[in-house]
A and B are shown apart, each in its own frame.
Chain A
Amino acid sequence: MNLFGAGFAWILAPRHWVTTAEGSGIGDALVHHLFLTAVSVLITVVIAGPLGLYIGHTGRFRRVAIGASNAARALPTLGLLSALILLLGIGDVPPVVVLVVLGIPPLLAGAYAGLESLDRQTIDAARAVGMTEFQILRKVEIPLAAPLLLGGLRAAALQIVATVALASVFGLQSLGTFIIDGLAQADYVKMTAGAILVAALALLLDGVLAVVQRLVGPRGVSRGTDRHRTTARDGKKPVALTQDAH
């Protein structure tokens, strides 16, 4: 508790917000942290968004996509970052590449799972009234699957914003600077402050995206899905309980 109190006090001290020869300031670190997050999320969306929609709409390459994104999940992030730093030198490109690799699997999964979860009859109906495939995607599938699509984005953004901290192992500014430098300097108050800052930023970003996710969902549809799931779970519960009793 004491360490947390000291960590908060450290964050609130104005002199820790400006960069000096003594160390990086929270201001600069926060700006660069957000910059790396924004660029990485944007590139992730540009790559995984269309790909996920294509796979979800057509059902093609699904197996390949699942395999590839599971393989990407297994990549050790710090190892990949070290390798890219040694290859490309210290700069923003290596962490962005690593973060995009990290962000693609959840976003891709959200996109194709979102489209696959839709009622096929709705899509057949849209086709029957003469919509083109692109119209079906834009006017039916994306709006209906929006909560799951945004769920994927939310998962990707959360992973990215928390992992940006690793870039500071190689001297790049981010909120991770305080964690990594604090550990090396045995300054555990600074380290705690860094951890609080990263956690707070991640919670804030996730909260904002959660609100957006709630706003974009077509109300009737999402509620219907929820009720369906609840009943299914309720039906299974007693069985599970009796099995536990044995």
Chain B
Amino acid sequence: MIAVGAIAAVTAVLLAGCSSSSSTLSGNSGTKAKTSIVVGSANFSENEILADIYGQALAANGYHVSYKLNIGARAAYVPALEKGEVNLIPEYSGSILAYLSKSATASSSADVKAALDAALPASLKALTPSSAADSDSLNVTPAFAAKNGLSSIADLSKLSTVKIAANPEFQTRPDGIKGLQSIYGLTNLKFTAISDGGGPATLKALLDGTVDVADIYSTTPSILANKLVTLSDPKSLFASQEVVPIVSSSKVDAKLTSVLNKVSAALTTQDLLALNTEVSGDSKTAPADAAKAWLAKAALF
């Protein structure tokens, strides 16, 4: 019995080895069975749109793509990536780095990418980041900016007190209140925690003057819709948050890299903003349809 079991196990391993090598071969030659890729996403619509864009681009280039969208937060999908249950997830360079390495201090785009490459386990690989980014951004109303002559975060020191709204973790994050104090030397901050990730309640508080400054993700449609002034960040308080596909190392080859990099290169922050507006705005376009329209317009393949 044991011998039979052992033989079966060995045979299974050999077969598995055969099948994976043969599929890699056919993937390279592009003739027979398609390489299959499982594309996942985090549980918010922008990430889902990005997953659809990368997934559809691969499908257009002969990959067999299946989707596991809306998985959840990093704590849920990073283990799935590591186990190979999901092969591709669009990430944001600074956030995934901070998740993998708690002590990360890299801030510029190149530093973040280098630190990310070092922090990723061998089973995962980060491809070339896009110039499209979705980071924290501090916003004020146009009237408040004009009245106080604000254009950069450093200008906030002109005010006697600054009421600032953000998620509660902003209070303790190194690139939150602490960073504003140590990097920009702001000592006039009064913090209000609003737990909606720069959503409607935060926006309402900013517009009705309950707070002066609101932390809203840079690709949120409400920034454009309300003509908010995003304060520039000359001292790079917020780490670079470029969109970067994280892929199973076992699936990475020249063809996959070239397809995904082509998409990343074409994608801009303005595109993200427009896509988010389409999906979250009044038209309520489905993420997959918005992705399809963007790919058609970009005419990459």
Interface set of A (CB-CB < 8 Å, partner B): 21-23, 82, 85-86, 89-91, 168-171, 177, 180-181, 183-187
Contact = CB atoms under 8 A, between A and B. Distances in A.
B172 A185 contact: yes
A171 B165 contact: yes
B248 interface: no
Interface in B172-204: 172, 177, 181, 189-196, 200-201, 204
**Chain A CB within 10 Å, residue with most, of B167, B168, B191, B194:** B168
Contacts, number: 58
B192 A23 contact: no
B193 A89 contact: no
Given A90-B205, A169-B195, A21 B177 contact: yes
A181 B200 contact: no
A21 B192 CA distance: 10
B168 A90 contact: no
Contacts of B171: 22-23, 181, 185
Given A82-B201, A185-B168, A170 B194 contact: yes
B233 interface: no
Given A177-B193, A180-B195, A89 B205 contact: yes
B257 interface: no
Contacts of A90: 192, 194, 201, 204-205, 210
B192 A171 contact: yes
A185 B191 contact: no
B168 A170 contact: no
Nearest to A186: B169
Interface in B201-220: 201, 204-205, 208, 210
Nearest to B192: A171
Contacts of B196: 169
Interface residues of B, number: 22
Contact of B194 (A21, A23, A171, A183): A171
B201 A86 contact: yes
A63 B194 CA distance: 40
B193 A168 contact: yes
Interface of B: 165, 167-169, 171-172, 177, 181, 189-196, 200-201, 204-205, 208, 210
A182 to B, nearest CB: 8
A21 B168 contact: no
A185 B167 CA distance: 9
Contacts of B177: 21-22
A187 B172 contact: yes
Nearest to B207: A89
A24 to B, nearest CB: 9
Contacts of B208: 89
A180 B189 contact: no
A189 B262 CA distance: 46
A132 B165 CA distance: 58
Q: Which 3 A-B pairs have the closest CB atoms?
A: A184-B168, A171-B192, A181-B168
A20 to B, nearest CB: 10
A184 B167 contact: yes
Given A85-B201, A89-B205, A169-B195, 8 more contacts: A23-B171, A86-B204, A90-B204, A169-B194, A170-B194, A181-B193, A186-B169, A187-B172
B95 to A, nearest CB: 15
Given A89-B210, A184-B195, A171 B167 contact: no
B195 to A, nearest CB: 5
7 contacts: A22-B171, A22-B177, A23-B172, A85-B201, A168-B193, A184-B168, A185-B168
A170 B208 CA distance: 14
B181 A21 contact: yes
B193 A180 contact: yes
B165 A89 contact: no
B102 to A, nearest CB: 10
Contacts of B193: 168, 171, 177, 180-181, 184
Nearest to A190: B172
Nearest to B167: A184
A184 B201 contact: no
B169 A184 contact: yes
A184 B172 CA distance: 10
